[in-house]
Homo-oligomer: A and B are copies of this chain.
Amino acid sequence: MDVDALHDRARALLPREVYDYYAGGAESETTLAESTSAWLRWRLRPRILRDASSVSTATTLLGTPVALPIGVAPWALHGMAHPDGETATARGAAAADALMVVSTTATRSLGEVAAASDGPKWFQLYRVHSPAYTDELVRRAAQAGYRALVVTADLAVLGRRLRDAANDFVLPPRITMANHPRGEGGPGSTLGAALETMASWTFDDIEHFAGLTDMPVVVKGVLRADDAQRCVDAGASAVWVSTHGGRQADPAIASAHALPEVVDAVGNQVEVYVDGGVRRGSDVLTALALGARAAFVARPTIWGLAVGGAEGVREVLGELAGSLSVAMALCGVSDVTDVPADLLTTA
């Protein structure tokens, strides 16, 4: 089943307010809508007769070997999509040999998710409860075997998500943010209540986390060249271009449009990732041609999870992997780590 079809199935299966929570964006949802269409600013310039009989999608991400340059982006509350929550996602990602980034706001504890599969995993960090507890989460993640720390930097305050406001969305019964120490993210709580403000975070906090752990630090939510350089200066090993699924600033520049300036600024210093609207192999190939090391997807994996649990997640990732392989072969690209920039032209 292709990604659009899985989306349709998931929409039919999920309660309306849960679907809206996953599908929605902030304010006018301009950035949300543009996140997918932005990739269509470019067209492929296929190369012929290049002997594409062997196509490899294998790569490494901060040294972690993976079968795909396509990872599972962090997203809160997988438990609303499937009873097994993030443990199912972890099994599905492992089955595809894809990297999974596990969110602080998971419905299963970071240890439980780590143990659910032996696939490669990174941990995504929000400030929770207190600075000390947040540091404690970082230490636990390292101990549990997470291989990198992804600090989300674009949530100074929660974006205005009008669908959630109209639905009076709160965490449903039996849904708990398992990494929260005192039930702040428990049933009936709002997202705002669950996420203590991170408004005070600065680049010093990146420096703090980089010093706190041996895990390489990735800063997620970068949309500008100047910020990218400051992340690197503060010790980041990678930057992640993202609009947070169109759920924070709106109308913000789409990830696909911000990616080139970030690559120009820091692409020769650190790895650059991107998420936002990636729905086909051609989107991934476009991201790589623009200089990204990998592209991440969130909503597609949620739809897969809702429809088929771990197997649904694997199916979505397999679908994307197949789409990428075909796009590579048709463009005469045999290696994802060597995608030429001239593969693209503007539409």
Contact = CB atoms under 8 A, between A and B. Distances in A.
Nearest to A286: B251
Contacts of A224: 45-47
Listed residue (A48, A165, A322) with the most chain B CB atoms within 10 angstroms of its CB = A48
Interface in A136-170: 153-154, 156-160, 162, 165-166
Contacts of A345: 253, 257
A64 interface: no
A269 interface: no
Contact of A330 (B45, B157, B162, B282): B157
Contacts of A332: 156
Interface stretch (A70-78, A178-186, A201-209): A201-209
Interface string A333-347: 000000000000101
A48 B199 contact: no
Contacts of A40: 30, 251
Contacts of A174: none
Given A2-B162, A224-B45, A330 B248 contact: yes
Contacts of A203: 49
Nearest to A28: B280
Range class of the A interface residue count? 35 or more
Listed residue (A44, A158, A221) with the most chain B CB atoms within 10 angstroms of its CB = A44
A268 interface: no
Interface string A8-46: 000000000000000000011011000000001011111
A209 B347 CA distance: 35
Contacts of A257: 43, 345
A252 B53 contact: no
A332 B44 CA distance: 36
A56 interface: no
B326 A159 contact: yes
A217 to B, nearest CB: 13
Contact of A227 (B48, B223, B251, B322): B48
A95 interface: no
Contacts of A2: 162, 165-166
A282 B251 contact: yes
A37 to B, nearest CB: 11
A166 B1 CA distance: 8
A96 to B, nearest CB: 18
A66 interface: no
Interface of A: 2, 5, 27-28, 30-31, 40, 42-53, 153-154, 156-160, 162, 165-166, 197, 199-203, 205-206, 219, 221-224, 226-227, 230, 248-254, 257-258, 280-282, 322-323, 326-327, 329-332, 345, 347
8 contacts: A2-B166, A27-B281, A43-B257, A48-B227, A49-B201, A52-B157, A52-B199, A249-B331
**Shortest 6 CB-CB distances between A and B: which pairs?**
A53-B199, A249-B330, A48-B153, A46-B249, A43-B253, A53-B200
Given A51-B202, A53-B197, A154-B330, 9 more contacts: A27-B282, A40-B251, A43-B252, A44-B250, A46-B224, A48-B154, A50-B156, A51-B201, A156-B329
